[in-house]
């Protein structure tokens, strides 16, 4: 049953990835009437929120846009930074929303930042520890390794789950600002909602895959205990 859940979640993840790319490409050809570039829009949002110390830099790649709280910088990809499209402005506003979250002390992002070290370790090594525990089936300490791997993997799942409200809130901030501060005309805002909504689905899908895998690993561990 759990394997079926993993397969369904993986299919959902593939669909979400396709959806975000197709939606972004669709609205990348729709230019805003006011002609602001994505970088200009992000700069104005930051300045309006007293975040003049946050820099905006270029980053290579496609849809690699992100806010880096360590360097206090928003990095916008080649396909976004100088574009005046509805899609690009929406993405840039979303990243500016993350900067605002950090500035106002948004609680979920504080929690996410606090578990980053454990979550990173769990994402990288948790599955390997689980595999080692399964391979060393008859060894006395195999269960210990398996359970440690599950705990670390669970930390990475928790990180993905707490990421969901963080991303949704950043998108909500972006839509509210773009719709209420004159950056876009009102009839352009629904397109931004579609772009950011499809992007949010990728985070939902990633969390679904991780939760399904965690349940599968926990079921395997429970089965081993029954066998013992």
Instruction: Reply yes or no on whether 95 is catalytic.
Output: yes
Mean pLDDT of 170-174: 94
Q: What is the mean pLDDT of residues 193-211?
A: 93
pLDDT digits (tens, 9 = 90+) for 65-91: 999 998 999 999 988 999 999 999 999
Residue ranges of the domains in the chain?
A: 2-227
Confidence of residue 225 (pLDDT cuts 50, 70, 90): low
DSSP string, 20-63: HHHHHHHHHT-B-TT---HHHHHHHHHHHTT-TT-EEEEE-SSS
Measure Cα distances from 39 to 80, 83, 97 in Å: 8, 8, 13
Where does the pLDDT of residue 7 fall: very low under 50, low under 70, confident under 90, or very high at 90 and above?
A: confident
| pLDDT of 170 higher than 70 | yes
Q: Can you tell me the distance from the alpha carbon of 192 to that of 172, in angstroms, rounded to the nearest whole number?
A: 11
| Range 16-31 average pLDDT | 93
Q: Are 198 and 20 in contact (CB under 8 A)?
A: yes
Residue 181 has pLDDT above 80, yes or no: no
**Rounded mean pLDDT of the chain?**
90
Tell me if the pTM is above 0.95. no
The percent of residues in the chain predicted with pLDDT above 70, rounded, is 96
pLDDT at 113: 87
pLDDT at 107 over 90: yes
**116-155 pLDDT tens trace:** 888 888 888 888 888 888 887 667 677 888 889 999 999 9
- 186-195: average pLDDT: 93
From the list 48, 55, 95, 167, the catalytic residue is: 95
What span, in angstroms and rounded, lies between the C-alpha atoms of 142 and 120?
23
Asked if 75 and 159 count as a contact pair (C-beta separation under 8 A), the reply is no
Q: Cα–Cα distances in Å, from 140 out to 40, 131, 163, 218, 226? A: 61, 15, 37, 19, 15
- How is 67-124 classified by DSSP, letter by letter? EETTTTEEEEETTTTT--BHHHHHHHHHHHHHHHHHHHT-HHHHHHHHTHHHHHHHHH
């Amino acid at each position: 049953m759990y394997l079926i859940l993993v397969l369904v979640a993986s299919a959902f993840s593939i669909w979400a990835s396709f959806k975000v790319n197709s939606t972004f490409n669709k609205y990348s050809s729709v230019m805003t009437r006011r002609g602001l570039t994505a970088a200009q829009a992000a700069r104005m949002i930051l300045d309006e929120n007293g975040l003049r110390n946050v820099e905006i830099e270029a980053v290579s790649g496609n849809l690699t846009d992100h806010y880096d709280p360590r360097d206090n910088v928003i990095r916008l990809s080649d396909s976004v930074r100088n574009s005046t499209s509805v899609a690009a402005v929406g993405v840039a506003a979303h990243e500016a929303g993350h900067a605002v979250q950090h500035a106002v002390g948004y609680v979920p992002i504080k929690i996410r930042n606090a578990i980053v070290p454990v979550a990173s370790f769990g994402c990288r090594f948790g599955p390997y520890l689980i595999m080692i525990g399964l391979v060393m089936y008859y060894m006395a300490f195999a269960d210990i390794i398996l359970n440690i791997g599950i705990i670390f993997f669970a930390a990475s799942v928790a990180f993905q789950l707490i990421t969901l409200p963080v991303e949704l809130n950043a998108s909500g901030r972006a839509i509210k600002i773009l719709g209420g501060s004159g950056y876009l005309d009102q009839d352009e805002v629904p397109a931004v909602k579609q772009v950011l909504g499809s992007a949010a689905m990728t985070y939902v899908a990633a969390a679904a895959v991780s939760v399904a895998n965690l349940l599968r690993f926990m079921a395997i561990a429970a089965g081993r205990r029954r066998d013992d």
